[in-house]
Amino acid sequence: MTTISEPLAPSAHAPVPARWRRAARFVLSLPPAYVGTALLLLLAALLRPQLLSLFLLPLIARQAAPLGLAVIGQSLVMRGRSIDLSSGGVIVAVSYILTSGYFPVSDAGAMGLCLALGITVGVINGALIVKARASSMIVTLAMAMILLGIVIALSQFRAPGDAPEFLRELARFRVLGIPLPVLVWLAVLAPVALLLRTTVYGRYLDAVGANPRAAALSGIPYLRVIFVGHVASALISVLCGFILVGFVGKGSVTLGQDLALNSLAAAILGGVNFGSGKGGMLGPAVAAFMLTFLFNFLTSLGLGEPGRLMLQGAIIAAAALVYSLNKK
């Protein structure tokens, strides 16, 4: 929203120069993730400088990679006025396929199976949302429940075991000091950001988000745009699953369960909202880093579980509050 039209106060008796006020207004109009990250880094520099060391920062970035990937998928569907809460279910299913040994295939075969699962889930989600016009929140939530339920029931017969060796290696591997998961994150982020800016699909997505009715009337295949978003989001969840399984080294039925809601928070803090992609793809990425850094920072302060959760909730609310009040 432009706020330029507001009359500037006469500078005669204004001690604060207009330049400063314009700067403040610019900072406030940014997605809350940027200011939040800056504030957090500043606070950390004062209170816990060791968090900013060259040893720990890449580790935190590595930890942020799954959330960073998940938020890419979440932003894609949110810009089309939809939502995807199924990532937790997909991740648990991926971890089970990779680690249980239920499927007598090689590691590469198992990863292929995971991708096939991702496509299936994405297609089912998309089809139900677009064809049956079901609420995307309910559909993806139900999908997560189904996948999680099946995995938990199956793990009674065969508990999840160790992760494939090369995934664990990949999670530890570094290129020029940068952990590989971070590179994977960037390798997905950069093309998606570029494609959204330059391709017809990106324009369609903006049009659908701005006004689905108008987009449909102007002949934009808007159902297909939403459908493709959901398939992409499910595939990205599979990728998150690979990375998380590599981190943990073991299969687990609690892996990535907070990712669906955290990615929603990160998308909003990054300036993406239902139907608008103002924060682009960079905003959500910064927000993913911010949230992960925040969790680490709060842990390093020695706050127990109660204090950590309370501060986390308060900060998400505060950031969302500043952003929406400013947008009004």
In the complex, which residues of this chain contact other proteins (CB under 8 A)?
1-2, 4-5, 80-83, 128-130, 132-139, 141-150, 152-153, 156, 210-213, 222-223, 226, 261, 264-265, 268, 273-274, 304-314, 316-317, 320-321, 324-325, 327-328
Contact 160, 98 (CB under 8 A): no
202/275 with CB nearer other proteins: 275
Tell me the closest approach of the beta carbon of residue 133 to other proteins, in angstroms: 5
Minimum gap (Å) between residue 193 Cβ and other proteins: 23
Select 17 or 149, whichever has its Cβ closest to other proteins. Answer: 149
Residue closer to other proteins by CB (options 152, 195) is: 152
Torsion of CA 249, 251, 252, 257, to 10 degrees: 80
Nearer to other proteins, 61 or 129 (CB): 129
Q: How far is the CB of 169 from other proteins (least distance, A)?
A: 32
| Three-state DSSP string of the chain | CCCCCCCCCCHHHCCCCHHHHHHHHHHHHCCHHHHHHHHHHHHHHHHCHHHHCCCHHHHHHHHHHHHHHHHHHHHHHHHCCCCCCCHHHHHHHHHHHHHCCCCCCCHHHHHHHHHHHHHHHHHHHHHHHHCCCCCHHHHHHHHHHHHHHHHHHHHHHCCCCECCHHHHHHHHCEECCEEHHHHHHHHHHHHHHHHHHHCHHHHHHHHHHHCHHHHHHCCCCHHHHHHHHHHHHHHHHHHHHHHHHHHHCECCCCCCCCHHHHHHHHHHHCCCECCECCCCCHHHHHHHHHHHHHHHHHHHCCCCHHHHHHHHHHHHHHHHHHHHHHHC
Q: Of 168 and 327, which CB lies nearer to other proteins in the complex structure?
A: 327
Shortest spacing between CB 49 and other proteins, in angstroms: 26
Nearer to other proteins by Cβ, of 69 and 143: the residue is 143
Tokens matching residue 244: 């998380």
Residues 6+ apart with CB under 8 A from 291: 64, 67, 262, 265, 266, 269
Q: Least Å distance between CB 175 and other proteins?
A: 35
In whole angstroms, the minimum distance from the beta carbon of 217 to other proteins comes to: 11
Question: Which CB, 167 or 294, lies closer to other proteins?
Answer: 294
Nearer to other proteins, 112 or 149 (CB): 149
Q: In the bound complex, what is the minimum distance in angstroms from residue 95's beta carbon to other proteins?
A: 16
**Cβ 304 to other proteins, closest distance in Å?**
8
